[in-house]
Amino acid sequence: MAVLRLGYAHIRVTDLEESKKYYTETVGLLPVLEADGKVYFKGWQEQDHHSLVIEQGGVGVAKFGFKTNRVEDLEEIERKAQLFGVSTSRMSKGENPEVSDGLRIIIPSGHTIEVYYEQTFLGSSIGLINPDVFPRGLKGMGVPRLDHALIGADDATLTEKFFMDVFNFFQVERVVPDLDHPEHTLASWLATGNRGHDIAILGGPGFDTKLHHFAFQVDDWSSILHAGQIMSMDNVSVDVGPTQHGVTRGKTIYFFDPSGNRNEVFADGYTTQRDYRPILWTADQLGKGIFYINRTLVDSFTTVLT
């Protein structure tokens, strides 16, 4: 059994048209469907139907989708989730357009997660036969794919445990109060494969159900700069960056969509391995862990969630 990845983020926006324009022209996603007050997007590298859904009304995250590779995984996850003690229900094919049947789980942090094993195949923009390395005519940042999300949690330790026990994620890096209390998780980066992290959790009072950010992978440090240049041209509100994370070693810019949902462009980061021992960050070094170069935690970064 393996959860393959974060398959989609479904978020709320205050103005659908404005957000559609932003995610299309500035972020460079491809809109693939508009229906029922929602717009569905995919990155040019992605083969599945969509990886981002925006929905009119408010801010924050409505739900996340995690994809498994096999229908059989649903039962195993369901069983483990119930054993863990969280609420699960079955969802039917078509409850989400172009998405298979699956599970719906309310995880300890209160977020809704859908687990599914199939989306309609749309294919990447470069095709499957003798492809070019990118498609001509990308817009804005031209992000290729959704990478990960960071969610808030009142109890980060418990939420981390959920992803490990039920999704079989492993710890990559963790923030702990100090080395005498390594069992208490302040923040955690968890992966299922080699991609740095697929989900991260930030603990804090009142953080349940909150979204800190979701991130798009871009190629490298030069792509990060290019994304930043587009932010300036399109007057995007930039939170922090360009900089590098100490945690994951990824290069990054944080910025906000027109509704105030935090986005990230994320590049590189080291190749994670399930058998590597996790890295620990102590709370006093959190600044360096999050923003390696200036080692200073911007206030907004740990307090502004949507």
Q: Which residues are catalytic?
A: 148, 197, 213, 245, 254, 264
In angstroms, the Cα distances linking 158 to 80, 90, 107, 275 are 15, 23, 10, 22
Cβ burial, residue 234 (10 Å; 0-12/13-18/19+): middle
Identify which of residues 79 and 274 has a Cβ nearer to a second copy in the complex.
274
CA 209, CA 196: separation in Å to the nearest integer?
23
Strand (E) or helix (H) holding 118: none
> Cα 14 vs. chain centroid, distance in angstroms?
20
- Pattern of binders to a second copy over 217-236, x per CB under 8 A? x-xxxx--x--xx-xxx-x-
User: Which two three-digit tokens encode residue 187?
Assistant: 């923040």
Binding a second copy by CB under 8 A: which of 26, 51, 125, 244? 244
Contact 120, 49 (CB under 8 A): yes
Binding a second copy by CB under 8 A: which of 60, 292, 297, 302? 292
- For the CB of residue 220, give the shortest distance to a second copy in the complex, in Å: 4
Q: Interface with a second copy includes 180 (CB under 8 A)?
A: no
Contact 65, 34 (CB under 8 A): no
CA 112, CA 219: separation in Å to the nearest integer?
30
* Distance in Å from the first CA to the final CA of the chain: 32
Q: Interface with a second copy includes 101 (CB under 8 A)?
A: no
- For the CB of residue 111, give the shortest distance to a second copy in the complex, in Å: 23
- Pattern of binders to a second copy over 106-145, x per CB under 8 A? ---------------x-x----xxxxxxx-x-------xx
Binding a second copy by CB under 8 A: which of 280, 297, 302, 304? 280
Give the footprint of a second copy on residues 54-93 (CB under 8 A): 67, 69
Contact 31, 50 (CB under 8 A): no
User: Which two three-digit tokens encode residue 290?
Assistant: 């999050």
Identify which of residues 78 and 173 has a Cβ nearer to a second copy in the complex.
173
Q: Interface with a second copy includes 285 (CB under 8 A)?
A: yes
Identify which of residues 223 and 306 has a Cβ nearer to a second copy in the complex.
223
- For the CB of residue 97, give the shortest distance to a second copy in the complex, in Å: 18
Q: Interface with a second copy includes 293 (CB under 8 A)?
A: yes
Identify which of residues 166 and 227 has a Cβ nearer to a second copy in the complex.
227
Contact 18, 257 (CB under 8 A): no
To 5 degrees, how large is the angle CA 195–CA 12–CA 84? 55
CA 159, CA 188: separation in Å to the nearest integer?
9
- For the CB of residue 110, give the shortest distance to a second copy in the complex, in Å: 28
The residue count for binding a second copy (CB under 8 A) is: 67
Contact 199, 153 (CB under 8 A): no
Contact 31, 270 (CB under 8 A): no
Contact 102, 117 (CB under 8 A): yes
Pick the piece of the chain touching a second copy (CB under 8 A) from 10-18, 99-107, 153-161, 269-277.
269-277
Identify which of residues 158 and 265 has a Cβ nearer to a second copy in the complex.
265
Q: Which residues of the shown chain bind a second copy in the complex (CB under 8 A)?
A: 2, 4-5, 45, 47-48, 67, 69, 121, 123, 128-134, 136, 144-145, 147, 179, 193-195, 217, 219-222, 225, 228-229, 231-233, 235, 238, 241-244, 246, 249, 251, 253, 268, 270-271, 273-282, 285, 288-289, 292-296
